[in-house]
Amino acid sequence: MTKAGEVIALMTGFLGVCMAAIMTGIVASAFSNQVARKKAAFEAQIREIFADGVVTDEEKETLKRLQAHYRLTDVQVEAMLQRAQNKTAMKS
């Protein structure tokens, strides 16, 4: 009812919203880092598979399993495969 009470309520509400925003940012950042790690691990596996220049059926199955495990789309996998093939071609 008093002006001081209104100011305290306003500041408390504002700080509460700020804390929620900070926590949301932290969680989003951690999620983004995990996704980047999964993609990096998958790309490392692709580079390892292309190292010898031959992709066996077993290696294809491994990539399919990892794709499902990391929840990567076919478009993402195709882009990664293209990059790996380009790097392999440039080394040759």
Could you read off the pLDDT of 21-41 as tens digits, one per residue? 999 999 999 999 999 998 888
Reported pTM: 0.65
| DSSP assigned state of 53 | S
pLDDT of residue 91: 67
> Is 80 in contact with 42 (CB distance < 8 Å)?
yes
